[in-house]
């Protein structure tokens, strides 16, 4: 499981001119899933995300977590995070999990994030053509891969 997290002062997701998610201070989380991802990947990644100290404290030092600031989150499925670009100019997405595997893992990840964060987490729509807007705060953008946790 791989994520790109962006610290945002605002973010939203629109599908066919309908805004389906919108947050202010928090994280936009782009989530890519591969076929061998398991509950352990979900648990580790969710815990890492909510406790990652990337928000400023009173001294303007990145010392607070999403949980500490009671921030919001949007999770957007992003199979392109697992693009293979070594050969040719057309990315291959063969490593990305197919919907029958990815959708249940995506939903489970969102539920786990809600448990760890202690609040509702907004989402895009799996497989939809989404327009994602954000104001990256900092900018702070971090990539985390659950396969690199050790």
Active site residues: 80
DSSP 79-130: GGGG-B-SSSSS-B-TTBPPHHHHHHHHHHHHHHHHHHHTS--EE--TTS-E
Strand partners, 7: 27
φ and ψ at residue 101, rounded to 5 degrees: -95, -45
Pairing state of beta strands 26-32 and 2-15?
antiparallel
Residue 145, classed as helix, strand or coil, is strand
Tokens of 32: 């890519």
């Amino acid at each position: 499981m791989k994520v790109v997290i962006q610290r945002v002062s605002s973010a939203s997701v629109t599908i066919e001119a309908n805004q389906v998610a919108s947050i202010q201070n928090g994280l936009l989380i782009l989530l890519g899933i591969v076929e061998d991802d398991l509950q352990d990947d979900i648990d580790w990644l969710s815990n890492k995300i909510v406790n990652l100290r990337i928000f400023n404290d009173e001294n303007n030092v990145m010392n607070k977590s999403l949980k500490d600031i009671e921030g919001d989150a949007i999770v957007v499925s992003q199979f392109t995070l697992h693009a293979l670009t070594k050969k040719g100019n057309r990315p291959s997405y063969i490593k990305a999990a197919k919907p029958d595997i990815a959708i249940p893992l995506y939903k489970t990840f969102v539920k786990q994030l809600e448990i760890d964060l202690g609040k509702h987490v907004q989402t895009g729509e799996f497989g939809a053509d989404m327009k994602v807007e954000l104001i990256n705060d900092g900018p702070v953008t971090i990539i985390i891969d659950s396969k690199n946790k050790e």
